[in-house]
Amino acid sequence: MTLRVIAIDGPAGAGKSTVARAVALRVGLPYLDTGAMYRGVAFAVLRDSVDPRNEVEVARVAESISVVVDPNGVSVDGRDVTTNIRGAEVTSVVSVIAAYPPVRARMRAEQRAWIVNHGGGVVEGRDIGTVVFPDALLKIFLTASPHVRAARRVAEVGGDLEDIARSISERDRIDSSRDDSPLRPAEGSITIDSSGRTIDDVVGEIAAAFDAAATGIAAAFDAAATGIAAAFDAAATDTIDG
């Protein structure tokens, strides 16, 4: 079954969250930020004073906590951590813990269940089109130049441009080189470079691509239904004639 999923993957600062939220509103699908789930796990690891380099301990945390992401924010074990997960501490360890296969397995299962419960969605992350929903109706790889990405992050959260650029490039390196679901464009994805483009412009391009994909599916369905009806008529005629 093709779920009504738009997968938006890409590196930090490419504009994924802003674009994904706006696309979701535009096409009438719910929005899921999977990065917030990994950040929730990183928050719990720090909360429990677990060493982020200890895969076994981190996996135990990921498997035992409850992370809920909804339009109001993110909660971990019932506590609202929407603001905490954006802090520098969580940001500095999230890619380390997100590279562990048991952590990813738990998150993937949660993400698939979320989409089934919601009947589809606009899902933003690093491995959505490649691994979590390879059959998504539309797959986007959203990127931008390193300079633009760092400048955007500084505008969002403040800080020194050089420091932020270094932190982003370190996360890019870990996210792209890990063995389990590395960050890369999915097969059949459309790559969009958002450098120097407005949000509206990018959102418009994605919404148009979604309409085209949905129309293509509807046309294929109509063609199949017409084929089935014709075969049924032929069989019925055979029976009547015979």
Angle between helices 161-177 and 88-98 (to 10 degrees): 20
CB-based closest residue to ligand CDP: 35
Q: Is 45 in the site for ligand CDP (CB under 6 A)?
A: no
Q: Is 127 in the site for ligand CDP (CB under 6 A)?
A: yes
Q: Contact region for ligand CDP (CB under 6 A) — 45-53, 119-127, 158-166, 232-240? A: 119-127
Nearer to ligand CDP, 4 or 39 (CB): 39
Min dist CB 6 to ligand CDP, Å, is: 14
> Which residue of 15, 32, 38, 43 would you call a contact of ligand CDP, by CB under 6 A?
38
> Which residue of 7, 24, 31, 39 would you call a contact of ligand CDP, by CB under 6 A?
39
What's the CA gap between 49 and 54, in Å, rounded?
11
Residue 200 burial (C-beta neighbours within 10 Å; 0-12, 13-18, 19+):
exposed
Residues 6 or more apart whose Cβ sits within 8 Å of residue 235: none
> Which residue of 95, 130, 143, 167 would you call a contact of ligand CDP, by CB under 6 A?
95
Check: CB of residue 83 under 8 Å from CB of residue 50: no
Q: Contact region for ligand CDP (CB under 6 A) — 113-121, 125-133, 139-147, 224-232? A: 125-133
Task: Write the DSSP symbol of residue 85.
Answer: G
Query: How many CB atoms sit inside 10 A of residue 169's CB?
Result: 14
Nearer to ligand CDP, 34 or 84 (CB): 34
What are the distances in angstroms from CA 171 to CA 126, 138, 164? 11, 26, 11
Q: What angle do CA 228, 233, 235 make, to 5 degrees?
A: 95
> Which residue of 106, 126, 139, 152 would you call a contact of ligand CDP, by CB under 6 A?
126
Nearer to ligand CDP, 155 or 240 (CB): 155
Amino acid at site 239: T
Min dist CB 67 to ligand CDP, Å, is: 12
Site residues, ligand CDP (CB under 6 A): 12, 16, 34-36, 38-39, 94-95, 98, 125-128, 171, 175
